[in-house]
Amino acid sequence: MKIEFTNEWCLQMARLELEAGADIEIGVTPNIAPQPVGALESSTGSLPDANIAFGRFVRLMRRHRRQTLEGLAEVAEIEITELVEIEEDNHHKPEPRTVYQLAKHFEMPMPKMMQLAGLSAPKDASFYEEAIRFAARSETVEELNAIERAALEAFVSVLSEKK
């Protein structure tokens, strides 16, 4: 059976597949079907609230240090476009290198930052709860208010816990 595939068709469909991010396998017993480890995606590929916490954390840390987006991007040696996406797009999945650079710059433990960014699975469920609680308490205003500052400080101590 011969099929005429065009370059355009193949690439367009490949991009849709990549965006969907889902497995396509058929024929395995469901109770042993693997879920991607550390994947916070549902089968439609959307990210849960814990990823909002990462963007919120980065933004608050930046503002706490009175840095502009450009300033942070420059000193942390990361792409400014990605930094904007991290802070503004709740569905954005950051590059591991970017998370590493931010962890180094903010002097935060790398494993916890990777968990917060959704790039690895947390060892305990309470981490997610803390992240979501932090996201819920923090809001975007010009300067950190007392509530935001308290939320940020509490969350920083959670991230810094040796677990």
Partner 1 sequence: MSVEISSAFLLDVAAGQAVAAELWDAVTEQQLVHWEDEWMPVQREFVERMKAAGVERALLPQSRHWDWRRKAEAFSGSLANPSFCVMCQGMTQGMMIVNTLHKARVASQAGKELIYIEYLENAPWNRRHFASDQPRFAGVGSLLMRAAIEFSREEGFKGRLGLHSLPQSNGWYSNACGMTDLGTDADYQNLHYFEMTPEQADTFIAKGN
Task: Catalog residues that contact partner 1 under the rule CB under 8 A.
Answer: 1-18, 20-45, 93, 96, 114, 118-121, 123
In the complex with partner 1, which residue's Cβ is closer, 62 or 93?
93
**Nearest distance, CB of residue 90 and partner 1, angstroms:** 15
99/118 Cα distance (integer angstroms)? 10
**Nearest distance, CB of residue 89 and partner 1, angstroms:** 16
159/111 Cα distance (integer angstroms)? 9
In the complex with partner 1, which residue's Cβ is closer, 2 or 66?
2
Residue tagged 């950051």 (tokens): 94
The upper half-sphere exposure of residue 51, i.e. CA atoms within 13 Å in the direction of its Cβ, equals 21
**Nearest distance, CB of residue 102 and partner 1, angstroms:** 15
Q: Do residues 103 and 91 make contact, with C-beta atoms less than 8 angstroms apart?
A: no
Tokens of 69: 């987006």
In the complex with partner 1, which residue's Cβ is closer, 1 or 146?
1
